[in-house]
Amino acid sequence: MLIIGPPGSGKGTQAERISERLGVVAISTGDIFRANVKSETPLGVEAKKYMDAGDFVPDSVTNKMVRDRLGESDVEDGFLLDGYPRTTAQVDYLDEILADGNQRLDVVVQLTADDEELVARLLVRAKETGRSDDNEVVIRHRLDLYHEQTEVVVAKYAERGILARVDGIGIIDEITERAIQAHQSLVFP
Ligand code: AMP
């Protein structure tokens, strides 16, 4: 399963909750990058330059990291990827990884929310967590990238008939329920 949504749409929160309900591991590329930045690994030092500007970390770095992570044994019974793929090139790469591992995607959940609501939420998060990429200029740039590059990713999965659009505004529990129901209706139609 994949969860895709603009910055601030609650992907991380929902990924944790949905993965618990489904009994699969949640993998967030943003979290892996942030952990590497924190411990100052070479990957983290490289990724930080892009993250602080709100840019995508280059595919050459991101794709390898995802391939390595999906090679670990805890993904054998399924996984929920949060924040990947974000570009059509990453979609193609993920297709290759999955084909190599005889795996397939069941469901792609897209969390939707209005841009101004997202900016407002992220400015609150900036105060609470001090994330270095949560300032207004960077937030708007991340939203632009989502519209320019990630919405075409969503369209690809819609064409494949595995996309569920879920309203990301509302009570956290209710959004989780909507996502679980969308998952069930695609997996057990
Ligand atoms: P997130 O926590 O998902 O908002 O990701 C935080 C930042 O990590 C993004 O703004 C990017 O700089 C980087 N990042 C996460 N996932 C990807 C990805 N699939 N491709 C490129 N960069 C990514």
Question: Is position 125 annotated as part of the catalytic site?
Answer: yes
Strands 108-112 and 163-167: parallel
pLDDT given for residue 133 in this prediction:
81
pLDDT at 130 over 80: no
- What's the CATH number where 147 sits? 3.40.50.300
CA distance 62 to 100: 18
pLDDT given for residue 174 in this prediction:
97
Rounded to two decimals, the pTM is 0.95
- The C-alpha angle 142, 150, 180, rounded to 5 degrees, equals 105
Question: Is position 142 annotated as part of the catalytic site?
Answer: yes
Name 179's Cβ contacts closer than 8 Å, sequence gap at least 6.
Answer: 3, 14, 18, 109, 111, 164, 166
Q: What is the mean pLDDT of the segment spanning 163-171?
A: 96
Closest C-alpha residue for ligand 1 atom 19: 84
pLDDT at 168 over 80: yes
pLDDT given for residue 127 in this prediction:
84
Name 62's Cβ contacts closer than 8 Å, sequence gap at least 6.
Answer: 29, 56, 84, 90
Question: Is position 131 annotated as part of the catalytic site?
Answer: yes
Our count of domains for the chain comes to 1
Closest C-alpha residue for ligand 1 atom 2: 30
Cβ of 30 less than 6 Å from ligand 1: yes
pLDDT tens-place string over residues 18-76: 999 999 999 999 999 999 999 999 999 999 999 999 999 999 999 999 999 999 999 99
Question: Is position 34 annotated as part of the catalytic site?
Answer: no
Closest C-alpha residue for ligand 1 atom 6: 30
- Give the active site residue among 69, 86, 121, 178: 86
Pocket test for ligand 1, best of 9, 16, 29, 65 (most atoms within 8 A of CB): 29
- Determine the distance separating the centroid of ligand 1 and the alpha carbon of 139, expressed in angstroms: 12
Instruction: Give the structural domain span for 114.
Output: 2-187
Tokens of 37: 């930045």
pLDDT given for residue 131 in this prediction:
76
Confidence of residue 16 (pLDDT cuts 50, 70, 90): very high
pLDDT higher at 39 or 132 = 39
pLDDT higher at 22 or 132 = 22
pLDDT given for residue 81 in this prediction:
98
Cβ of 7 less than 6 Å from ligand 1: yes
Cβ of 57 less than 6 Å from ligand 1: yes
The DSSP string of the chain is -EEE--TTSSHHHHHHHHHHHHT-EEEEHHHHHHHHHHTT-HHHHHHHHHHHHTPPPPHHHHHHHHHHHHTSGGGTT-EEEES---SHHHHHHHHHHHHHTT-----EEEEE--HHHHHHHHHHHHHHH--TT-SHHHHHHHHHHIIIIIHHHHHHHHHTT-EEEEE--S-HHHHHHHHHHHHHHHH--
